Structure 1
Amino acid sequence: MAVSQRLELRQGQSLVMTPQLQQAIKLLQLSNIELAEFCEQELEKNPLLERDDSTPALEAEREPPPAEAVPAEALDKELAREDFSKCADMDATGEDRYSDGEERGATSAENAPLADWSTVRGSAQRYEGEEDLLESTVAEGGTLKDHLLEQLAIAAFDADKRFICVALIDAVDEAGYLRADLDEMAARLGCEKTLIEETLAVLQGFDPVGVAARDLAECLALQLKEKDRFDPAMAAMVAHLDLVARRDMSQLAQICGVDSADIADMLAEIRALSPKPGLKFTTEPVQPVVPDVIVREGPDGGWLVELNSETLPRLLVNARYFARVSAHARDKESKTYLTECLNNANWLVKSLDQRARTILKVASEIVRQQDGFLAYGVRHLRPLNLRTIADAIGMHESTVSRVTSNKYVATPRGLFELKYFFTAAIQSLDGSESHSAEAVRDRIREMIEREEPREILSDDRIVALLTADGVHIARRTVAKYRESMRIPSSVERRRLKAGESLNSGLR
């Protein structure tokens, strides 16, 4: 067969992921904090973007400006399926209203009860009635390592032990435990292991009590020694923490050589100790969860779904600045740069608007599907998957998955992640509607909470009770749900409640 070269023309279709398309998809799955950081970066890079500082009240009173023209072929194929301008149930304020499938009229936000969420705002007293205490002083808590190094500075150490102590402090994790092998450290530092052990014994006397322990038993022992309560009986209990976890009181009493009353007192002392003494020096700020969607109850019994305006970035394209600068641009490179900035700014504003509308549409459908949960509680949570929501609103499952990631909704029943409403289905014995896995899990929890000390429910007994109520569930599934809620087994619960009844009898 002869080898030859030739030219061929072929036609084919393919979806090209342009940078703008990748950006539109990326914006969907960002949380409100990540989205704010992304917009700040874009504001720094693009001179044509500016922040809209107008108040939401003024923004609601005026009509929204017309959207910038964006080429249709540049839109996300999944998102472009939805013509958001045709959503008849969405008003100018971005709110979606419905009640049992019927369209509702406009309602006042003042008439609807507030959702069960709040923003914690700090308050402080004034100095001389002028300066705010929080503004005039900056409290900066030190880390555990800094706290230990401050104590090392006044410790009576020679140069060698001071060097070893610094190496030991570096090996202490944020919980206060020493995460280093002494043999390896001795080989690395070129010193005797006994010298490291002597230095470690002094370090373990630093504040907080229990720091630099190598395991939980040593951490508890250090704290008990500080309180002068580390007697032989307590030492035996600390050495058998596995029995404490299993609540095997009879075997603990036999090993420690004390009676049941002493065991109860010793357990109370251990519970008062700190298993992770270093955590109180953790200085990482706790980020509050701010809801992206707010659900309020309407006066007619329906639900009002709206976006949280505090989490929505407000960006504008400065067309006047573009016209002024482009008029003075002489070279081709400057004109190209300005055109790219304008296109990127228009696309970002359009993508943010499309993201907000998509989130509202998905959240509205979730609320419609889980209306029973909002009205009556977790027992009425329906089985739900991504495909059901995607088919109802005409989007792809991957789009719904991105929208519900790291998004939270504030409801009268609390603050929930949107993923919470997607639960597996458990079949019903009578052929009726399936049960939600979350609802079944709640029923198991309630059964165990209401059980009598003399009649502890085993997993088989729970299966029998659920089966009598028409829930088809296996024993291993009940065990899995129980363990996910951190509920002990029936044997451990029987021991625990026997110990509690014993303690109450002693009192």
Structure 2
Amino acid sequence: MDFYLGPSLEPRQEIGPQLVIANKILLYGSAELETLLDEELSENPALEVEEVARCPRCGAVLSGKEQRFCARCNRLIGDLQPLPWESPPAPDGDPSSDDEWSDPILRIVAPTSLSDYLMWQLRPMLEPGEEPLATFLVESLDERGFLACSLEEASTALGVGVDALERVLAKIHDLDPPGVGARGAQECLLIQMRHLERQGKSVPPLARQLVEQCWEALSRGALRQVQRSTRASLPQIREALDFLQECLTPYPALAHWEVSPQGRAQAGPVGDYIRPDIVLSEREDGSIEIELPGARSYELRINPLFAELASDRRAHKQMSESEYACVRECVDRARLFIRGMEQRWVTLRLIMLALVREQEAFIRHGPRYLKPLTRAQLADSLGLHESIVSRAVANKYVQLPNSRIVPMSIFFDDSLPVKEVIREIIAQEEEPLSDQEIAAELARRGYEVARRTVAKYRDAMGILPAALRFRGGARQGASGEGMGSGQGG
């Protein structure tokens, strides 16, 4: 057998600084991107930004000098001139200066979002290198507090092992509100039971048995099967169900959480507004227009003085080698960052153009018209690597022409049409239908779905099992409400 060692002509991708910074910038959502930009501007004097006033809701460029007006939203954004606040006198004996009391806005406690509240609790518990993983998982929670992505998807997006993510997720399960980070209502209730036991409160063994061993039977409303499995009487089972309703909540983050000045969690009125990364609107000719609000919100450039010092050899002679190397490093770093930002917008627009082409019916008419599409299929059609599409989709939001803001990952959720039909069936039911009956109704409408799949989709939509949807003649859960609102016991 002959062996020959020689040069190979096979193409191979080199992971250079430009690719690293481009992948990092592409992964971030709009809020994280602004934080990254602020950090880069504070650390690199060679990077400059010229901001452009844009509407915080739709991203359109604002007009007007003294007052900002958005023509698309047809609303006034606010005055550019500062309001004529009168400075109140400082309290007697307060050594603070008058400047600290000149603006009453400084005395308003800023609201804290649920993600901020969770990270505030989580940071002291994290090991070195775990904060990026924790941030990704916390930002992947949906409006109910459930983890909206699988650990395998998070592993692909972050390039880390599933074991490391499981360790971080276990720490999230120990946070307040109890049950946050669960992957479903069943896991959420079990986590809350552990929290109650740590507080020294008793949990009825039958209630735990119902959740651990009889969850599917409860989903079908099969109380007789639950009775046979637990060997408990119907009054005992109903008493355990009452405990689950009164003391636990399957959706821990339906309320907005804030931190009071004393450091305690309290319910707030509303959640933070999600700023879309991409805005879709319908033109006059009926076509769909794609806008990237962040692409033109600011213009990045290299500081002219640094650019001149880095390129002018005469200036180089007046500087030491270390000073010149520092200038060149700052300029090169700024150039890499600017290219990474430009590549981000090009990639997002390219992917969104393909999604509009593939999912135009969904964009115009709603969830029932969503076509089955995977990230791998989209990547193949665009000639991109699947990991690039995954990074571009992660943590991004799209504003549809009807002004609804949805996660970008929804374009790949092939279960959405079936979920919409399930929601419609449950909304029209006169008596609670079991998951098996819902599956039969879906089959009559042309959707072949197994009972277990119905239970999975129903749980993902925040709809309670049949046995819990009607209690005492009152409808519960069909609109996404939980079994209870507080942690009792």
User: Could you say which residue in structure 2 is the equivalent of 1:346?
Assistant: 335
User: Could you say which residue in structure 2 is the equivalent of 1:373?
Assistant: 362
1:251 to 235, 238, 241: 235
2-structure distance, mates of 1:219, 1:356: 54
User: Could you say which residue in structure 1 is the equivalent of 2:35?
Assistant: 37
**Paired residue secondary structure (1:382):** coil
Alpha carbons of 1:267 and 1:337: their partners in 2 closer, same or farther (altered >3 Å)?
closer
2-structure distance, mates of 1:310, 1:491: 50
User: Could you say which residue in structure 1 is the equivalent of 2:265?
Assistant: 282
User: Could you say which residue in structure 2 is the equivalent of 1:385?
Assistant: 374
1:405 to 372, 384, 394: 394
User: Could you say which residue in structure 2 is the equivalent of 1:49?
Assistant: 47
Q: Using the TM superposition, name which of 319-328 and 45-54 deviates more.
A: 319-328
1:299 to 242, 264, 284: 284
Per-residue Cα deviation, 1:136-189 (whole angstroms, up to 9, x for no partner): 52437999xxxxxxxxxxxxxxxxxxxxxxxxxxxx974599xxxxxxxxxxxx
2-structure distance, mates of 1:306, 1:140: 30
Q: Does 1:414 align with 2:404?
A: yes
2-structure distance, mates of 1:347, 1:114: 38
Give the Å deviation of 1:450: 0.8
Q: Using the TM superposition, name which of 239-248 and 443-452 deviates more.
A: 239-248
Per-residue Cα deviation, 1:105-160 (whole angstroms, up to 9, x for no partner): xxxx95x6789xx9999xx99865999864252437999xxxxxxxxxxxxxxxxx
Larger Rg: 1
Q: Does 1:135 align with 2:85?
A: no
2:48/2:300 contact within 8 Å kept: yes
1:485 to 449, 457, 461: 461
Give the Å deviation of 1:55: 5.0
Look up the equivalent residue of 1:496 and give its one-letter code.
R
Give the Å deviation of 1:19: 1.9
Q: Does 1:315 align with 2:300?
A: yes
Give the Å deviation of 1:278: 11
Give the Å deviation of 1:294: 0.7
**Paired residue secondary structure (1:462):** helix
2-structure distance, mates of 1:346, 1:270: 56
Give the Å deviation of 1:480: 1.7
Q: Does 1:444 align with 2:418?
A: no
2-structure distance, mates of 1:217, 1:290: 42
1:32/1:312 contact within 8 Å kept: no
Q: Give the superposed CA RMSD.
A: 5.0
**Paired residue secondary structure (1:339):** helix
User: Could you say which residue in structure 2 is the equivalent of 1:23?
Assistant: 21
User: Could you say which residue in structure 1 is the equivalent of 2:130?
Assistant: none
Alpha carbons of 1:451 and 1:141: their partners in 2 closer, same or farther (altered >3 Å)?
closer
Give the Å deviation of 1:357: 1.5
Look up the equivalent residue of 2:39 and give its one-letter code.
Q
Look up the equivalent residue of 1:486 and give its one-letter code.
G
2:315 to 328, 331, 334: 328
User: Could you say which residue in structure 2 is the equivalent of 1:462?
Assistant: 438
User: Could you say which residue in structure 2 is the equivalent of 1:226?
Assistant: none
Look up the equivalent residue of 1:414 and give its one-letter code.
R
1-structure distance, mates of 2:236, 2:77: 48
Structure 2, unaligned runs of 5 or more: 56-60, 62-69, 89-100, 118-173, 180-194, 212-217, 224-232, 477-489
Q: Using the TM superposition, name which of 415-424 and 394-403 deviates more.
A: 394-403
2-structure distance, mates of 1:254, 1:354: 58
Look up the equivalent residue of 2:42 and give its one-letter code.
E
**Paired residue secondary structure (1:480):** helix
User: Could you say which residue in structure 1 is the equivalent of 2:449?
Assistant: 473
Alpha carbons of 1:51 and 1:213: their partners in 2 closer, same or farther (altered >3 Å)?
same
1:176/1:213 contact within 8 Å kept: no
User: Could you say which residue in structure 2 is the equivalent of 1:105?
Assistant: none
1:174/1:279 contact within 8 Å kept: no
Look up the equivalent residue of 1:482 and give its one-letter code.
R
User: Could you say which residue in structure 1 is the equivalent of 2:191?
Assistant: none
2-structure distance, mates of 1:173, 1:348: 36
Give the Å deviation of 1:270: 7.6
1:126/1:132 contact within 8 Å kept: no
